[in-house]
Each structure stands twice: as C-alpha cells, then as structure tokens.
Amino acid sequence: MANSKNYILAIESSCDDTSAAVLCNTKVLSNVVATQEIHKQYGGVVPELASRAHQQNIVPVVHQALAKANIDKKQLSAIAFTRGPGLMGSLLVGTSFAKSLALGLDIPLIEVNHMEAHILAHFIEDETRTPPPFPFLAMTISGGHTQIVKVSDHFTMEVLGETLDDAVGEAFDKSAKLMGLPYPGGPLVDKHARQGNALAYDFPKPKVDGLNFSFSGLKTSILYFLQRETKNNPDFVSQNIDDICASVQYTILEILMEKLKIAVEQTGITHVAIGGGVAANSGIRGRLKEAEETLGWTTYIPKFEYCTDNAAMIGIVGYLKFEAGDFTDQSVAAKARYAIGS
C-alpha cells in the first residue's frame, strides 16, 4: 500500500463552515469551504441556522471538491468525516452524509476528532513547511477552542490544559463587540492593535491553576472599563480604539504565552505548533518568533487555510487512519462533546 495512491474525501460540518476536501495521500487536491454569512447579522453562530445552511451546502460543496480535484467518486478509497466535538445539529448533517455516501459507494468510513484534526493539519504536504517532529506541543486557538496538547505520535495525544469558559477567539470577538466592532471582531482587534500602545491600559489576568485558561473575566473587566470611561467621555472608544485593542490583545497574548512557557518548562519539549483561526493573529506570530530567538523554541504554523475550520485537516487524519486500517462502523453517531483520546 506504501506507494499506492489513496483518494480520501473529507467532510467537515462541526460549526458554521461547510467544507469538503479531496486528498491523494498527504496531498490536498481540493479544499472547498462554504462559510455561512448568515450568522454575521446575529453577532455569533446560531446553531439552528447553521444546521439548515449545512443541509443546503453539503451536496454542492462535495460536488465542487470532487470537480476541483478532478476525481470521480468511484475513484475514492474512503470517506472521512468530523464526528465531533461541535454543534450537534451541524455534526449530524456531515455525519449522515458521510455514512450514506460510504454505504452507497461501498468504501470505508473514517471518523475524525475535530481537535485532533486541527493538530494533524501540520502533516498536510506543503513544500514551504516541515511538520513538527514528535514529541511536540500543540496549542489550538480558535473561536471554539483553546487547548494545549502534548503530541507523542499521530494518535497519542494528551490534553495538558484547556479553557474553563470562553475560547480565546471568543475573547477577541466579545471584546470587539463591546467596542462596537462587527463579528467576527478578532481580525479587527488585530488590525487596530498594530497601531496602538499595548501598555496604554491595564487589564487583569486571571489566576488559573496549571495549564488551564479562563477568558470570561477579561470580557467583564473590559465591559466595566468601557462603561467607566464612556461615562466621562462618550467618544472614548472611537478616540482610543487602537490603544484599547492593543491593550486587550496584549493581555490575551500574555495569558497564552504564560501557559505555553509553563508547558514547555514542564515537558522539556521546545517544538511548539499552533493552529486554529487565532493563529492568524499578528501578535501571536510575533511572540512565537521572539520565543524562537530568546528561548530556543522551534515553532510551526500551518498555512492559514488549514488553521481555520476546513475539511483538508479532516482528510489528513482520514489518510493516516486509512493507512493504519482504523475504520468506523456504520453504527457510528455524532458526538457533540468529544475529548481528544476518548
């Protein structure tokens, strides 16, 4: 099997992106993502609307992925899909579709844990990057997740810490909302932060034991801070948006880097891989570069399209499991809560 070409169709529908990808072994032939714009007007993902949009998008997105890859469905070796974690209604669409197609084509079905996929996205073939060597530390930071994981091999992972409340992307988005910025506010906070003074305002950092995170307190302190300041000056936010964003971002990055440094110290592992939508943040990228120079870390960030939710990362896990002969029975059900390694 080593030299053969295996074509994997992968499906991701855990949150608000309907995505399908075709991989030939570790190479991505297509990776189509239909981002659901409907949630913007509500300032966050509305689960019921997400499921309906997946229902509408899934067939055209899969067709497009096959067409772009120039692969006929009869050539497929297996179907990989996100079983969880995520929104139940959204997961059900991808799970049911994947099961039906695998049954119809009489090919293996492969379940994938979305959080493992964010990490294994580093193993997608990319001539501009080398994947991290085992063992490495992976920090997944996105709108739905904040986790530090010790990765000993493709399928041996241990969660060292995770958020106890909001995800880091939520912290960005909710702070942005308080400043009147549109959803998702993370990229806008980043943009303003680049022009602001990170030490202009001081926000408290939460005291959380071990390697876990908490971001809900930050949101509350920003709310009180803005209420206080706008009472004296109604234009406070618009006049100081760059400095506020820079200070908020600085606090968030301090929280992330502090835990990451503890994880490196505790494990002695200096290969640090980042993934998830927040990995696009220019500040975190700068901090990682700094850690390479001052702390001797080696850091890894996949291409942006493989950081945000996408089916290519589901496909790479699909391929690795296909090689290992790790297939899934048709009785499988979606799993909204699905811890790594469970």
309 binds Zn ion (CB under 5 A): yes
187 binds ligand KG4 (CB under 6 A): yes
d(CA 161, CA 256): 11
Contact 101, 69 (CB under 8 A): no
Q: Residue 17 annotated as binding?
A: no
Q: Which stretch binds ligand KG4 (CB under 6 A): 202-210, 223-231, 274-282, 333-341?
A: 274-282
Least separation, in Å, of the C-beta of 310 and ligand KG4?
Answer: 9
Residue among 87 and 272 whose Cβ is closer to ligand KG4:
87
Q: Residue 141 annotated as binding?
A: yes
d(CA 58, CA 215): 34
The region that residue 62 occupies, defined by phi over 0 for left and psi between -120 and 50 for alpha, beta otherwise, is alpha
CA dihedral 182, 187, 193, 194 (to 10 degrees): -140
Q: Residue 126 annotated as binding?
A: no
Alpha-carbon distances of 103 from 92, 133, 252, 340, rounded to whole Å: 16, 36, 46, 27
Least separation, in Å, of the C-beta of 340 and ligand KG4?
Answer: 15
Q: Which stretch binds Zn ion (CB under 5 A): 62-70, 95-103, 139-147, 285-293?
A: 139-147
Q: Where do the H-state alpha helices sit in the chain?
A: 47-69, 88-105, 114-120, 168-178, 186-193, 216-232, 236-267, 282-295, 312-324
Give phi and psi for 61, each to the nearest 5.
-65, -40
85 binds, among ligand KG4, Zn ion, none (CB under 5 to 8 A by kind): none
Question: Which among 172, 159, 251 is positioned nearest to 212, based on CA atoms?
Answer: 159
Q: Which stretch binds Zn ion (CB under 5 A): 63-71, 91-99, 213-221, 304-312?
A: 304-312
CA dihedral sign of residues 63, 67, 73, 74: positive
212 binds ligand KG4 (CB under 6 A): no
173 binds ligand KG4 (CB under 6 A): yes
276 binds ligand KG4 (CB under 6 A): yes
Contact 293, 299 (CB under 8 A): no
d(CA 336, CA 85): 5
Q: Which stretch binds ligand KG4 (CB under 6 A): 55-63, 65-73, 139-147, 326-334?
A: 139-147
Least separation, in Å, of the C-beta of 330 and ligand KG4?
Answer: 28
Residue among 85 and 161 whose Cβ is closer to Zn ion:
85
Give phi and psi for 339, each to the nearest 5.
-70, 150
Instruction: Pick one of 277, 302, 315, 318: the residue that binds ligand KG4 (CB under 6 A).
Output: 277
Instruction: Pick one of 12, 111, 190, 243: the residue that binds ligand KG4 (CB under 6 A).
Output: 190
Residue among 28 and 141 whose Cβ is closer to ligand KG4:
141
Q: Which stretch binds ligand KG4 (CB under 6 A): 18-26, 166-174, 212-220, 319-327?
A: 166-174
Alpha-carbon distances of 206 from 141, 212, 213, rounded to whole Å: 18, 10, 8
Annotated binding-site residue numbers for substrate = 140-144, 173, 186, 190, 281
Binding site for Zn ion (CB under 5 A): 142, 309
